[in-house]
Structure 1
Amino acid sequence: MLNNEAYAPPLHSLPRSPSSVCYTPTNASKPLRATTTSSSSSVTMKNINSNNSNDDFEASAASFAPATLFVIYARNRIGLLGAYFSTVYVDVATLTIFSSSIKRREEEAEGITLIMGWPIIFLFPPPDSLFITAMAVISFTGCAHAGLSEVRGIHLQYSKFWKSGSQKSNQIYISARRGMQLAYTPPFLAGLTSLVFFPHCDDIRYLLLSSALIIHFLKRLLEVQFVHKYSGGVALDSGITITVSYLMSTVAAIYAQHLTITQGLREPPIDLKYPGILLFLLGISGNFYHHYLLSQLRSSSSLFRSHSQTNDDKEYKIPRGGLFELVICPHYLFEIIEFVGFSFISQTLYTFAFVVGTTFYLIGRSYATRKWYLSRFKHFPQKVKALIPYLY
């Protein structure tokens, strides 16, 4: 008679035991689920619904069945010790298979939640903040309304329009240089202060946004001091409006970015911060170049002087060079590009709302500016559009 060392019965003749597989031909056409208990390491195949959500478990059961047969064979072949170690192997394999299945299903569920809960894949979900929600609405509607007012002839009183419209008897004017310094200094200081109060030094997106805002307003202050040549003034109420707008939008943009960190908001699936850096650099460079071209008009003679020759506009001339050959406000165009760069770096709902509103404002302002040039220069080129070459 042969002992266990010399003879191992074929698998199909093995007696049924607590560790054997309970599986009948009547269930063969249905998908199966494998379950195990740590006390007996027994395995049972149970019927489950054949739907897409159970595909991972069907694959797990298919991977698990050979390991079960291996336990049965080991128990009959090499005795209880071998069966013990093989049982441990099955337990580890079971936990590994099913934990990976559960993890995949959780990731799929999170993906579905992301798509269903917040469908805009290039933005952070909105933070839980009434202040940011209110600021997004105010920034968009306020800037868009200001742009519509420019089209209607109701202007913020600075630059060419500093004495436009009906004059209030008690209106206060300050110099243009002082007014622009008033507008740009508070948001510049707010950007610097944010690095002290919200020092997220390990978050590259936050640092990029704060740095871009600081550079933007520092560049504006340097232009006011060393580049621009002013001849008019700024109405005090318009200067205050511009200052508050710049300050609050800067604070809101930085605070919204701060909340994405502290509230643990999920990063957008589409990362736009590096394209945003390129757009920011393009916008700020183009804006500075055309501001420089405008400043040169005041220091050189031109044949294209305003024919009205009033004290208010006698220093204005038709700009030349760069994109001034195609549009009358290329500096506005590059400012929009720069602001789009801000929104790409940030990828928060607030910055996009602010950029869209600001774009509407600059569209209206550029329309009013082109209309102003047409009214004061007899030979203003009709091919020169307001903001977008060949289109608008």
Structure 2
Amino acid sequence: MPTSIESYFSVLMLFGFSQAVLSIYLLTKEKNRPFSNNMLALMIFFWGFSCYWFFAYIWKGALFSVTVTTFIGPMLALTLFPPIYLYVKYLFYEFKSFQKWDHIHFLPIYIYLSFTLFLFLDSDFSIEQMRKHKWFSLRRDMSAYIATLQGPLYFWMTHKILKRWHLKLEKDFSEIESRKLEWFRTINICFAIVFIIGGISTILRITLINPFYLYMGYHAIMALSLFYIATMIYKYPLLFSQNFFFQKEAKHTEEVEEMEVEESIVMDLEEKEQKEISQIEKEQLIIKKIEKVMKEKKLYQDPNFNLNDLAGAISESRNAISMALNQNLNKTFYFYINELRIQESSMLLSDPSKAHFSIEGIASQSGFKSMSVFYRFFKEIHGVTPSVYRKNAINS
């Protein structure tokens, strides 16, 4: 029977395995999902299976298979690190299928499986004889040492991509969007702890330190990481949706549509200018241009969107825009933009299918940089807090 510590630890392992199953379901249930989700699901599968294997190893009996352990036990170490790197790579470079050159990352696994098959054949298809084979322990040791080298290598490669993309988001989008990448950094740190403890267990195997406790240590980190991943997928599903990052094809289509809109607007202006339209008509035309661009592009979702950006988007001066908003809508630019953001957040809060979205996530998605500003405007317009509004809207 396992000790009390092992019994409690086995519960944590089973919890980690259950979180892996939940995360894989949430990541793969949508047909229109980024291919990178498949890489993350692969990583979660390996980490979750490793947790289950440790749980079964502690309790043995019907839960534990000597045959399965003989064939794939040592291989688990080789599966822990490549998928997290491939996930980040496929997400940020927007790959839509598995790249053939990335088979090189699984080369140690392919070699392991081939060598395992050779040992099985050389042992006359006997698991018992295979475990006594003179090269059986070599396979286990080589897997552990290769994984020890893989850990820091893939951590560095993942960190490099995250750093590059973080800088790109800060430049091209907003601080809020770049902050969302912090969850990747957290996972990468957990990943680092796993390979550090795993590496120590490999290097110090012949010393007085019992490697079993080191295995327990990094499996505990894996189980907690799986819980964190499941929480992030459930709480911030937008991070794992097809349209969170700008897709190249969508961006190209958007640019074409933008050119068509601009050409149409320029033609309208030229025609009306030839007829010497009045100031009121000019202001009304500006309002229509603003409403059109806001409806089609939702520029207000950028937390750093300002009057200069709007002036560039519709090819009008700052003063003309401010005058048109004040004279026709009796609103300042600041109030007009935040009103649109409140409309967007109200729509998301009223949607039952988005009931699991956090209020903070909805505010961010709607374009608010500050939660205090969001709450102040929301209560000023609706008279209730966002949580009360959501409850009333969904229950009505």
Regarding TM over 0.5, the answer is no
Work out which of the two has the higher radius of gyration on C-alpha atoms and give 1 or 2. Answer: 1
Q: Which has the higher helix share?
A: 2
Tell me the TM-score normalized by structure 1. Answer: 0.24
Tell me the TM-score normalized by structure 2. Answer: 0.24
Q: Which has the higher strand share?
A: 1
Structure of higher RCO (CA pairs closer than 8 Å, 6+ residues apart):
1
